[in-house]
Amino acid sequence: MSPEVPIIILILAIPSYFVCSWIIRKFKIGHERNSRQIAIVSALLLSPFVYVALIIIWVFSASYYTSNDFDKIEWDSNVEERYRMAEDIIDSKMLIGKTKSDVIQILGSEYSISNENHLSYELGIKPGLFNIDPDYLDIKFENEVVLSVNQSGN
């Protein structure tokens, strides 16, 4: 635990104290003599949970992105954010049953090939806490026809 964590928890204890004090007054918990002590103890116990909740919210918000429908113009012009359209391409099965030349006409000619039955399109780097590598749209062919479309990467 870094030395900043206890300080942050104590800082969070201040607003937690006021919230606990308000709840104690609202629901008439304890007596007037001990309500301040109850609020202090409650705030000190609540603060670490608030700290963890804030971290969890931050992690989820750093990993969130909106998904968009496939748009050829956007696909061609914004390689870094293609990941937004990948879900629509996969879920709609718009490429299943298409030929390799159909796929190239739809998605463009900037792809990589690992073998004759596989094309891969770069999708950009999906937002995430430790994402540093780009994702790819992997298209597998069987008899020159799209068999499956998947997203690979992080």
pLDDT of residue 75: 95
CATH 3.30.1450 residue spans of the chain = 72-152
Q: Which CATH architecture has domain 72-152?
A: 2-Layer Sandwich (3.30)
What percent of the chain is modeled with pLDDT above 90? Answer: 62
User: Which of 35, 128, 112, 124 minimizes the C-alpha distance to 85?
Assistant: 124
Query: For 53-83, how does the pLDDT look when each residue is reduced to its tens digit (9 = 90+)?
Result: 999 988 888 778 888 999 999 999 999 999 9
